[in-house]
Amino acid sequence: MITIRKPLVACVLGISLLGGVAIDASAQTIGFVDMQRVLEESALGKAAQAELDTRFGDQQQAFTQREQEIRQMQAALERDKPLMSKEQVEKRETELRALIEQFEKDFNAVQREVMQVQQEQGQRVLAPARKAIDTVAKKAKLTAVFESTQAGLLYMGDDADITDQVIKALNAQ
């Protein structure tokens, strides 16, 4: 008889504790922010993107043109291959491989520089964005704010999204 009551008491105690947690949890309010949208749509984020475009736009066009030229050379080689000698084909393929390797080397170097500048620009936007998030969260009396694209958040209602308010607060700073 005693062994039956202990599990029953434990079960009742567990249910009452869970009920208490559920009540406390229901009083909690959370929100989420889509930081990618903040970076893309805020005035600071747009200025950072404009600076990147200004700084690297010409290089992007040059790489696009070089890539197009390499593709045209590859197409010409495939088209003319049946009419060429084995040595001519090997020579052109070697030239193309060298062009592609140089292109990839140059592109990767610029890509690393772009990523570094993007990180720097992102940090310039994130510090004020965090302040804007704090302001909006305190005003809305939120207990927690999550980044919406990060793993681990399984559900969120649209009414918890404070991204628009964060963008407005960031732009107001």
Q: Give the residue from 153, 133, 117 showing the smallest Cα distance to 42.
A: 133
Distance CA 35, CA 149 (A): 8
- Token look-up 């140089």 returns 102
Q: What is the pLDDT of residues 104-163, one digit of tens each?
A: 999 999 999 999 998 888 888 888 998 998 888 888 888 888 888 775 554 556 677 888
pLDDT at 153: 56
Residue 98: phi and psi, rounded to 5, are -65, -40
Q: Give the residue from 34, 20, 69 showing the smallest Cα distance to 145.
A: 34
- The domains of the chain, with CATH numbers, are 25-172 (3.30.910.20)
pLDDT at 156: 59
How large is the average pLDDT for residues 11-35? 54
pLDDT band at 2 (very low <50, low <70, confident <90, very high): very low
Distance CA 86, CA 70 (A): 21
pLDDT at 149: 78
pLDDT at 13: 33
Q: Is the pLDDT of residue 101 over 90?
A: yes
Distance of CA 72 to the CA centre of its chain: 34
Looking at per-residue pLDDT, the higher value among 65 and 31 belongs to 65
The three-state secondary structure class of 79 is helix
Q: What is the pLDDT of residues 52-70, one digit of tens each?
A: 889 998 999 999 999 999 9
Q: What is the pLDDT of residues 66-95, one digit of tens each?
A: 999 999 999 999 999 999 999 999 999 999
Distance CA 166, CA 9 (A): 48
Q: Is the pLDDT of residue 12 over 60?
A: no
- Token look-up 């990839």 returns 104
Distance CA 106, CA 145 (A): 41
